Amino acid sequence: MTLTITRDDPIDRVVKVKYRTVDGSATVEDSDYVPIVSTTVLFESGVRYYSFTVETIQDSRPETDEVFYVEVYDAEPEGQMVQTIVFFGRNEQKSLMIFCGEGL
């Protein structure tokens, strides 16, 4: 599953954020997806988007749709508000990621 972090702020500055996956009803223990540990993204001036892939694992177990999250955190320069929402379903995959910055 390819996801995109989108800057929703003026893009004339360099901004750094970290991201990682977090279990929801989809878990690493149940082999639903391959986790991403803390990863740093550097948005250079003029760059609005960063895409990355989370490997989801399909199995034959009958399950309802499951969810995992991608947490975006530790924005620099400090003072940014970061929001992230990711939905993962067995039969349908969709995602929305928002990186909101105040005073960037």
pLDDT digits over 44-97, tens only? 999 988 888 888 887 777 767 788 888 888 888 765 555 555 555 544 445 544
Confidence (pTM) = 0.76
**Three state DSSP letters for 70-81:** EEEEEEECCCCC
> How far is residue 42 CA from its own chain's centroid?
14
Q: What is the pLDDT of residue 7?
A: 79
Domains of the chain (ranges; CATH) run 2-100 (2.60.40.2030)
How much is the CA Rg of the chain, to the nearest whole Å?
15
pLDDT at position 86? 56
Write b or e for each residue in 61-77: b if 16 or more Cβ atoms lie within 10 A of its Cβ, otherwise e.
Answer: eeeeebebbbebeebee
